[in-house]
Amino acid sequence: MEFFQNIILKQHSFGNNTILNDKNTFHIAFGIDANFTIGTGVLIYSILQQTNHNIIFHIFTDTIYDNDIERFKMLCEKYPNIVINIYYLNPQKFNQLPTFYIWSKAIYYRFLITNHLSNITDTLLYLDSDILCLNNFDSLFDINLKKHIAGVVSDNPYMLDYAKNTFNLQQSYYFNSGFMFINLKNWQKEQISEKAIELLTKKNNFKYFDQDVLNILLNNKTLLLDNKYNTIYRLADMKTTINDDTIFLHYTGSTKPWQAWGQYHKLTPLWLNLKNASPWKKVPISQPKTYKQAKFMAKNLKRNNHKLLSIKWYLKYSLLKIKNKL
């Protein structure tokens, strides 16, 4: 497919290249822009706390800052069982695909990832960067996908009703595409990436874009895995708890643990503790820059009984919104 030609502009590789020929090496991939680099770094660090297995991490991005490159190098120096490959993409290729203010073009990089890595490994773990690893996951790579294209985890139950009503989903679950354990041979055989781009180009009224398209294309072709592999948690939900056997904790929604307006929730400290032990420990938490972010900040402060600060941020929200409309 012409779409996937000449997308990768260059590649950098760091770490122990002797593990490249080990057939038992795990391959884990991420598709990000610069705003999610801190999430990727802390996620990789959290993974390395839970396994001693050889791992090749593949990061597909349109932009990454030099300071973050140095931090990834620090990880490779500390952990001799890893390689980090960074692939720099041409983002203009994705201009025709729909985006939203909380979802950039990077949500589509997973389609390039699967195509590019299919000649390197048979199985691949794809993870969104707003995830944290809390327990050992080695057993995941022992799962035999057989005729399945991917092992997935069901999203929140209300998403199934949405999918059935919107595009007549036939299977009994709607999965979250932020975690996919992929059989790359079957993925390529079914030309999932090509079909996904074609669908997104011809029809742009999907609410959840890549995730909707993947649920359509992989209908009845996935293996449903236990929720512990992708425990979904929204930082806007103060009552959510997680089980002790949670392997991957997924901070879904518009609020992330590296943002100032996400600091008032009970599961944010899990992420902060790992951040502060990682090479990203000195990277400051992101502050609100847009009126929408200021509104999130004000709401979360109010929800946590910081009334005066909440009023301050509601005022900032109003000013930023007025400035945006001028």
CA atoms 79, 262, 228, 152: torsion sign = negative
CA distance 260 to 297: 7
CA distance 195 to 115: 12
Percentage with pLDDT > 90 across the chain: 58
* pLDDT for residue 26: 97
pLDDT higher than 80, residue 212: yes
Q: With bands split at pLDDT 50, 70 and 90, how would you rate the model's confidence at 203?
A: low
Of the candidates 226, 198, 207, 236, the one whose C-alpha atom is nearest the C-alpha of residue 96 is: 198
Give the pLDDT confidence of 286-320 residue by residue, as tens digits. 999 888 889 988 988 888 888 999 999 999 999 98
CA distance 193 to 190: 9
Q: Angle at the Cα of 212 (from 206 to 214), degrees rounded to 5?
A: 135
CATH class of 2-231: alpha beta
CA distance 156 to 137: 22
pLDDT higher than 80, residue 5: no
296 vs 215 pLDDT, higher one: 215
Average the pLDDT over each of 92-101, 108-117, 288-297 and give the range with the smallest value. Answer: 92-101
| Residue 253 DSSP SS3 | coil
Specify the pTM.
Answer: 0.93
CB count within 10 Å of CB 142 equals 6
CA distance 324 to 326: 6
Q: With bands split at pLDDT 50, 70 and 90, how would you rate the model's confidence at 99?
A: low
Q: Angle at the Cα of 214 (from 1 to 42), degrees rounded to 5?
A: 100
Q: Where are the domains of the chain?
A: 2-231, 288-326
Q: Do 311 and 319 form a contact (C-beta atoms < 8 A)?
A: no
Q: Do 303 and 264 form a contact (C-beta atoms < 8 A)?
A: yes
